Amino acid sequence: MKLRIVVTLKNGVLDPQGKAIHKALDGLGFAGVNDVRAGKLIEMDVADDTGDTAIDEMCRKLLANTVIENYRVERA
Amino acid sequence: MKAAVIVFPGSNCDRDLAVAIREVGGVAPDMVWHGDSELPEGLDLVAVPGGFSYGDYLRSGAMAARSPIMRAVTDAAARGMPVLGVCNGFQVLTEAGLLPGALMRNAGIDFVCRDVSLVVDNTQSLFTGGYDAGETISVPVAHHDGNFFADDETLDRLEGEGRVAFRYGESVNGSARGIAGVLNAAGNVLGMMPHPERRIEKAHGGNDGRRLFEGLLAAVA
């Protein structure tokens, strides 16, 4: 089973990388970009019988720092 | 006095920390590999060094915080063992849950590498007893992810309980309330982004960091 785990900074947490990307897009002349947030994508291939609890635990214990980040699991 | 410095793959300040402990305490610390699962017997201090453990992959300090030795460090800290984390070591201690909050990318994005002024906020701790209250010292920083973040409730609690050890005397990285170093609730764990171990010799540009080690090593000896 293929998983895509999307880790993003929580709302309200300053995202300097997103701000830099936003500024660069402005510099390229793309108008109408209201906000940019940068995150990270972790792709995993796991055994088909891997349970939701285990996946959730992987996210909370290592893949995301839940003090500052949210995560979302997508199953391919 | 018996100290241990944890050695993670990629760390580049473990030797500096060992030199500072040896110079001030007179005894070379044990260097303990991250893959070990036990600390040496009879320790008085564990030091978690700075410098890109595991290449800063995933998040700074995230992988190191899950290494086998950190379980032993966490257990020792719970029993009251003094633990000092500097720079990446501070990040490791927050990632391991030994200290609150998280260290995020610097607000200005740039890697900051220079001397900064630090105000000693709490001189009653094991780590800061060598300083005078409200004293301003000069210590170098070298980090990309030193922007301390915690929610307002946590920040209020840290301030209310006197757990802010150091604050920046100037704008450095966007840290919440200018916090540069924090203590755990029991006061035996300190994490700080600046590098006191790089300021123990006047010949190296100053020795304001030396008193941290003098105060700490005198307290634990």
B78-102 pLDDT, tens digit per residue, is: 999 999 999 999 999 999 999 999 9
The DSSP output letter for B99 is S
Tens digit of pLDDT per residue, chain B (221 long)? 999 999 999 999 999 999 999 999 999 999 999 999 999 999 999 999 999 999 999 999 999 999 999 999 999 999 999 999 999 999 999 999 999 999 999 998 899 999 999 999 999 999 999 999 889 999 999 999 999 999 999 999 999 999 999 999 999 999 999 999 999 999 999 999 999 999 999 998 899 999 999 999 999 98
Q: Closest residue of A to B96, CA-based?
A: A61
Residues 6+ apart with CB under 8 A from B210: B20, B24, B196, B199, B200, B201
For residue A12, the model assigns a pLDDT of 85
Residues 6+ apart with CB under 8 A from A52: none
For residue A14, the model assigns a pLDDT of 87
For residue B85, the model assigns a pLDDT of 98
For the entire predicted model, the pTM comes to 0.95
* Residue located via tokens 């915080």: B65
Question: Which amino acid appears at position A75 of this protein?
Answer: R
Average pLDDT, chain B: 96
For residue B109, the model assigns a pLDDT of 87
- Using a CB-CB cut-off of 8 Å, the residues of chain A touching B62 are 62, 65
- Using a CB-CB cut-off of 8 Å, the residues of chain A touching B150 are 67
Catalytic residues of B: 87, 195, 197
DSSP strands (E only) in chain B = 3-7, 30-33, 45-48, 83-86, 102-104, 112-120, 136-143, 147-149, 164-168, 179-183, 189-192
How far apart CA A23 and CA B158 sit, in angstroms, is 35
Which of B91, B99, B149, B175 to substitute to test the interface with A, most A CBs within 10 Å? Answer: B149
- Using a CB-CB cut-off of 8 Å, the residues of chain B touching A68 are 102, 104, 149
Hey, are the CB atoms on B104 and A17 less than 8 Å from each other? no
How far apart CA B141 and CA B196 sit, in angstroms, is 9
pLDDT in tens, B104-113: 999 988 999 9
Hey, are the CB atoms on A67 and B150 less than 8 Å from each other? yes
Q: How far is B59 from chain A (nearest CA, A)?
A: 8
Tens digit of pLDDT per residue, chain A (76 long)? 999 999 999 988 989 899 999 999 999 999 999 999 999 999 999 999 999 999 999 999 999 999 999 999 999 7
How far apart CA B178 and CA B169 sit, in angstroms, is 8
Cβ-based interface (< 8 Å): residues of A facing B: 9, 13-14, 16-17, 19-20, 61-63, 65, 67-68
Hey, are the CB atoms on B108 and A61 less than 8 Å from each other? no
List phi, psi (to 5°) of B106: -55, 140
Closest CA to B125 of B70, B84, B153, B78: B84
Question: Which amino acid appears at position B214 of this protein?
Answer: E
Q: How far is B94 from chain A (nearest CA, A)?
A: 10
Hey, are the CB atoms on A67 and B94 less than 8 Å from each other? yes
Hey, are the CB atoms on A14 and B62 less than 8 Å from each other? no
Can you read off the two tokens belonging to residue B117?
A: 């002024």
